[in-house]
A and B are shown apart, each in its own frame.
Chain A
Amino acid sequence: MRLILTTSIAVLLAASSANAAIDRAQKPSPGPAPEAAFPDYHQTTLPNGLRVFVIEDDRTPTVTFRLLIKSGSVFDGEKTGLAGFVAGLLNRGTAKRDAATFAKEIDSLGAKLEAVAAADYTAVVTSGLTKYTDEMIDLFRDAVLNPVFPSEQFTREQRKSLSQLMAEKMEPDALATKLTGKVLFGGHPYGAYRTPETVQAITREDLVKFHQQHFLPNNASLAIVGDVKPAQIISLIEKALGGWRKGEVPTIEAPKDDEVKGLSIHLVDRPGSVQSNIVVAQRGPRRSSPDIAELNVINATLGGGFSGRLFQNLREKNGWTYGAYSAFNPMELGGAFQAGAETRNDVTHLALIEILKEMQRMRDEPVPEAELELQRQYNVGNYLLSLESAARTAQRVQDIDLYGLPADYYKTYAKQMSSVTPASAQELSKKYLDASNAMIVVVGEGKEIRPELEKLGKVSAYNTELQPAPEPKPAP
């Protein structure tokens, strides 16, 4: 006791004597960096093939269940939007609860149960207070195993989708995203977007079939995050989902290799625009590529944050935009790279030229060591910060399973990002950044921005239906 007391007084004295020790003219030097240790978690596989991960986090008295079905909109086939409808309607009626009952029960717990379809997966997530764990598992099980996709609910969602598509025709972001997917992936489902025709082609039977084919325990993983005990929660899950029957997991082809050569410019004429949305896109690596961790550092250098080159050039030097960023989006069967900004009309072409220049500079010149060191630290440090979130850890653990990554992937992640050198950065830039063959999408006021864009290359023009627009007529 005495010893402890004495020690703490010593600490206090030592600390207060440090009072005058700062030098405001100098950046303070940091203490030794904490290690980015990926948290431990519990995992098991049920006899039906369902992989279960438990990540304990006792900071809040809540629990989240995230079921990842390893099939997403890439399995839509001709009926683009199908996986989205399946996800959206899981909580709208089951064999024993109609939509209203289901809504009332989940709402009354103060909980949420929602599902979304991404390209590679469908995620069903429920979260709420731990004291309602049993009730949440019951609703969760019901939504995942026994949805009936009631006709009237489906018809209503279909109708809402048609209204949403009307709205998206006027939203610059939506237009840019859709056209970018199309020019990148052509006819592959990675590049498909919903239209009134695809939405209307979908039937209730398609939803039932999709659910039967893809919602299989051996095509899924479940992460449980929160204030739970692994043994206890796994036994509850075994009881709830142990009887879920396995089946044959469907497969799908990857997009054909990209054969685009030369710069292409695609302009969506959105009359009345006071800003242009610019996207510079190209194909990128898959999620399983061994280069992903290092590409984080390369991307950060080019356009990952406030200290990235795109932000510094387009915003801080030129004042053309509120933000300019780039990102790799690696998926299971293919990937994309995108760089972009929203700029006022009269500098659209200038901003585009600078984005291409910055991409080219990553290939032509090695990144100076000091700049690269900043970006390595930025990535490693922010990775460490992200480990504070147990939900994020759960996603990563499920990603390892979904994309077949090495089991120690995230244990060595920080080390991989730290290993980038100016030489390897240049080599990877040459492999993955190719300004001279980029696909450019611009959404904006055609009559103001088209003439300057024409000077950069041939412009293919589209209307807000994303249909090819007729060539502008010469002035009479």
Chain B
Amino acid sequence: MSLAQDAQPIPAKTVLKPIKFVEYDLPNGLHVILHENHAAPVISSYVLYHVGSKNERPDRTGFAHFFEHLMFEGTENIPRGQIDKFISGAGGNLNASTSFDRTDYYFNLPSNQLQLALWIESERMLHAKIDEIGVETQRKVVKEEKRRGVDNQPYGTLFEELAKLVFEGTPYSWVPIGAFQYIDEAKIEEFRDFYKMYYVPNNATLAVAGDFKVEEIKPLIEAYFGPIPRGADVQRPKMEWKLPAAGQKKDVLKENTPLPATLHAWRAPVETDADAYPLELLTNILATGRSSRLYKRLVEKEQVALDAEAFPYLMEKAGMVGVFATGQNGVALDQLDQLITEEVESVKKGGVTEEEFQKARNTKEAEFAKAFGAMASRAENLARYHLFFGDTNLINTELDRYLSVKREDLQRVAQKYLTDDGRNVLRYPVPAAPAESKKSN
């Protein structure tokens, strides 16, 4: 490529304002990360436990998520049902979530309520109270959560089916919401054992961001969390992540499928692998924005799809990369599959253009520039980078990893991971219309 063609000045890389933090371990193993920032009179506390659905036994799926619900019940010093009342009554909000790899809990509060956050989180870590009433109620609640998100929605089972297919043979093959029967079968002692094993300071990270002084919060953290006894070393699930693995095909037949949909997915490396970065840029070129390849082909040119998405889904010990398209009414799934395959083959064969490559880099740059404004997102991401990447400062530097990717890496990872043999295809065909409804069309 000649210099003349590149004569347009390329603006310098945006300088991100560094997010400063201090981090340290308490003697009991709790990892603490503090980000002092006085832009607004707010604080966010974020507690990350290194336990998710991949830690579950295959006959106890849904356990980690169910346990997350129980953590709102109460503690030795907090009566049942009071945790939200305390936080709401202090002008704050809270929630929690469970994924394959971790369970997290957050509070956002006006900054004069910092101590309340530390108190409740330390109470939950020290001596949460788990009783039959709470377990019985949350059993019902979690079933409604699953019906709402999975069983009562078109394509609601997609993620569950996808995990089964792509992660077969690993503890990632079931999803965090799990199965009803196992939550019913679990005895209260099992919940207590689970708490004892995973909800220990040496398996947790505490991040606090916002309007406080580091030297004032440190002794408080010591006072609230210091006395919590260290637990036994946590046993991690033993699993081998085989790359590549042969793909499978599955059609999911559901009465409530309104439009044909297809998902192609391949096994991909774990999130800490260097190939994670070119893979993300590749998916951007495939399907982010109306100038992306799949949009231009499936939505614009052939007009067979409503939308097309490509995504990396990389985790601690497993990963996948996928392409998803919802077809227009009446479009054959085989046609969608064929077009997706052609676009994937084209990038494997010809790589990406310089223009596409710059667009993907610029998108990442803009994403990072926008990403960590709010204190809640700073606390969350500081903890995430620490736990899963062992480098808290990646909150400031991860963008450089994307920007150091070379254009040819994108073709290389396409060839390496998006293989013919490794392709899983999960499809939702529209059930054949009954004869009588044809009249109205």
Chain A interface (Cβ < 8 Å from any Cβ of B):
8, 11-12, 15-16, 18-22, 24-28, 30-35, 57-62, 91, 99-100, 103-104, 106-112, 127-132, 156, 159-160, 162-164, 166-172, 271-275, 305-307, 312, 315-322, 342-344, 373-375, 377-378, 380-382, 384-385, 387-389
Contacts and interface: CB of A to CB of B under 8 A. Distances in A.
Contacts of A168: 258
Given A111-B366, A378-B88, A103 B14 contact: no
Contacts of B16: 60-61
A321 B137 CA distance: 10
Contacts of B248: none
A272 B90 contact: no
A321 to B, nearest CB: 5
Given A11-B215, A15-B215, A275-B147, A378 B11 contact: no
Given A30-B113, A33-B112, A321-B141, A24 B123 contact: yes
Contacts of B141: 315, 319, 321-322
A8 B215 CA distance: 9
Contacts of B358: 108
Interface in B379-432: none
B258 A169 contact: yes
A48 to B, nearest CB: 31
A317 B306 CA distance: 42
Contacts of B234: none
A294 B420 CA distance: 61
A315 B84 CA distance: 14
B296 A31 contact: no
Interface of B: 11-12, 14-17, 39-42, 77-78, 81, 84-86, 88-94, 108-113, 115-116, 119, 122-123, 136-145, 147-148, 151-154, 211, 213, 215-216, 218-220, 222-224, 255-259, 288-292, 296, 299-300, 303, 306, 326-329, 355, 358-359, 361-367, 369-375
A20 B300 CA distance: 66
17 contacts: A34-B41, A34-B110, A60-B373, A103-B290, A104-B355, A107-B363, A110-B366, A112-B289, A129-B362, A171-B153, A322-B142, A322-B148, A377-B89, A378-B89, A381-B110, A389-B373, A389-B374
A15 B86 CA distance: 25
A22 B92 contact: no
Contact of A167 (B259, B359, B369): B259
Given A30-B112, A307-B88, A166 B258 contact: yes
Closest 5 CB pairs of A and B: A381-B91, A319-B140, A110-B362, A34-B41, A103-B290
Contact of A306 (B88, B108, B136, B369): B88
Given A107-B292, A373-B89, 6 more contacts: A15-B218, A100-B291, A107-B359, A380-B91, A382-B92, A385-B91
A166 B330 CA distance: 11
B370 A20 contact: no
A18 B220 contact: yes
Contacts of A91: 290
Contacts of B296: 100
A131 B148 CA distance: 43
A108 B180 CA distance: 47
Contact of A384 (B41, B94, B224, B292): B41
A219 to B, nearest CB: 28
Nearest to A26: B77
